[in-house]
A and B are shown apart, each in its own frame.
Chain A
């Protein structure tokens, strides 16, 4: 087989996946840029707007808040997911009787739809008859109106989101942990390392690549969080949990201002590219070297 022909076959095998990406992602993306420069509302004539939509959103204090909320949400959310995900993985690195069942149970959140998680947690957090407030009441704590005060709402949202995504970290860190050769750990113990030292100097360096990948994926996925927030808080109260994706949704599908909504999309895209580009480079190097 000539090299030329071989390349042609390779490209042909890649054709379907690239066709999908071109038609489903790239063309709408370009269309988003076009739309962002128009006054575009369903049921109304489309007119050219220049950069008006961008001026509108960048001048909107709510958009600035949404931007800050997004950053806050990602930093806190990802840290919590990483800490707890790693913690749970460490716990499971001891073998327990019934290990497979326990792991299945802690992975269960992965199998649930954001829609169902949202509705169920909404019930649990209900201020009038929800089990969480009842438990607090029995402990002598006044009921907390979770989705009323900005900080509580944000905390509740972080809790739910972390809960849902701990398994995502676990499935990356746990395999790295159990592949650590036991001899290394034994040797460190013989050298008199305590548990903290053992974790810090032996285990952590060995699981760092897995943690790094987890960090990348969790960041990108947290940046686009939508379903849980929509079902749980709709961005409220006082837009305290309104991240950029919710802002975009409201512009596009509540106020039906498609021009500004597309402009928000373009901004989100730029932010994502900025945050993700070092990670893309690192990831692609890793993928390609294997």
Chain B
């Protein structure tokens, strides 16, 4: 491409680039605010007029965060535990179900799939009030297990449907050939379906993971000091000894969302390619 050519291309595309920049800047406003404020001296966060860049870059917010709010480490740990086991449980529950919906054509399976979809429409908040006394009764209040079960259940429908769409795309002939060779169903599942499904497993695991990592509602209602997750603690952190320590809040926010951003980067292609069959977070 000659430079002349390129120049004309740039000028032709300039309006679109400007539009793109506006959209991108608009999208990252809060993220930028949180990151830049986390490196400001706390007094500067409240500065009037506000500053767009830290006048003096400091890491003191991060250092003080872990000193002032030792619970934050525990909250991160709780988030990690809940996220990890939600991923594992969701995959192990949904993959067999997806396989069934994809390969078993009896009407009973279609009908149960519709039940699954209908259940997904149930607003999570509606079960929270009855769940509170139930969890008390069975001794599961403020526990990791509660959150893991809730997250898994509320993600299971969509994950199953995504996996089903993927398994639909695996040629059934491979399996038929294996059966002819005398393989059992278990062998077909573990030697053929499982390895071939690895990409969708990774992608859906990340979807569940970022949901569990960020979830606020259930975490807020069903945890106290024991299983409290990072987002809940951050929302609670706006109260401390001397007014709101915005420095700590922003530092904690950055620590919380950086892993989620990395997850998003990994899963991005998966999210925007070929998941028209209803993939979305919720």
Report B-chain residues with C-beta under 8 Å of the C-beta of A171. Answer: 271-272, 275, 279-280
Stretch at the interface among A57-65, A183-191, A247-255: A247-255
**Complex alpha-carbon distance, A123 and B164, angstroms:** 43
Report B-chain residues with C-beta under 8 Å of the C-beta of A248. Answer: 125-126, 129
**Complex alpha-carbon distance, A110 and B282, angstroms:** 10
Kindly state whether residue A141 has any CB partner on chain B within 8 Å.
no
Kindly state whether residue B106 has any CB partner on chain A within 8 Å.
yes
Shortest beta-carbon distance, B6 to chain A, in Å?
Answer: 11
**Complex alpha-carbon distance, A176 and B242, angstroms:** 52
Q: Which of B125, B164, B253 contacts A249 (CB under 8 A)?
A: B125
**Complex alpha-carbon distance, A266 and B129, angstroms:** 11
Inter-subunit contact B129/A35 (CB<8 Å): yes
Inter-subunit contact A119/B272 (CB<8 Å): no
Report B-chain residues with C-beta under 8 Å of the C-beta of A124. Answer: 29-30, 33
Interface residues of A in 119-145 (CB under 8 A from B): 119-121, 123-124, 128-131, 134, 138
| A-B CB contacts (within 8 Å), total count | 284
Report B-chain residues with C-beta under 8 Å of the C-beta of A119. Answer: 234-235, 238, 249, 253
Report A-chain residues with C-beta under 8 Å of the C-beta of B276. Answer: 172, 175-176, 179, 209-210, 213
With A91-B19, A124-B33, A287-B117 known to touch, is A112 a contact of B260 (CB < 8 Å)?
yes
**Which secondary structure characterizes the binding site on chain B?**
helix
Report A-chain residues with C-beta under 8 Å of the C-beta of B109. Answer: 10, 14
Report B-chain residues with C-beta under 8 Å of the C-beta of A24. Answer: 127, 149-150, 153
Q: How large is the interface on A (under 10, 10 to 19, 20 to 34, 35 or more residues)?
A: 35 or more
Report B-chain residues with C-beta under 8 Å of the C-beta of A280. Answer: 114, 117-118, 121
Inter-subunit contact B93/A17 (CB<8 Å): yes
Inter-subunit contact A21/B153 (CB<8 Å): yes
Inter-subunit contact A123/B214 (CB<8 Å): no
Shortest beta-carbon distance, B229 to chain A, in Å?
Answer: 9
Shortest beta-carbon distance, B161 to chain A, in Å?
Answer: 6
Inter-subunit contact A220/B279 (CB<8 Å): no
Inter-subunit contact B280/A172 (CB<8 Å): yes
Q: Which of B46, B49, B116, B235 contacts A17 (CB under 8 A)?
A: B116
Inter-subunit contact A287/B282 (CB<8 Å): no
**Complex alpha-carbon distance, A113 and B105, angstroms:** 39
Report B-chain residues with C-beta under 8 Å of the C-beta of A100. Answer: 268-269
Stretch at the interface among B53-61, B63-71, B95-103, B194-202: B95-103
**Which secondary structure characterizes the binding site on chain A?**
helix
Report A-chain residues with C-beta under 8 Å of the C-beta of B52. Answer: 131
Inter-subunit contact A252/B282 (CB<8 Å): no
**Complex alpha-carbon distance, A203 and B111, angstroms:** 34
Inter-subunit contact B134/A31 (CB<8 Å): yes
Contact with A along B248-282 (1 / 0, CB 8 A): 01100100110011011100110111111111111
Q: Which of B16, B122, B152 contacts A91 (CB under 8 A)?
A: B16
With A25-B153, A91-B23, A249-B125 known to touch, is A129 a contact of B47 (CB < 8 Å)?
yes
Report B-chain residues with C-beta under 8 Å of the C-beta of A26. Answer: 119
Inter-subunit contact B168/A290 (CB<8 Å): yes
Inter-subunit contact B160/A134 (CB<8 Å): no
6 cross-chain CB contacts under 8 A:
A17-B93, A25-B127, A100-B268, A104-B268, A117-B30, A265-B126
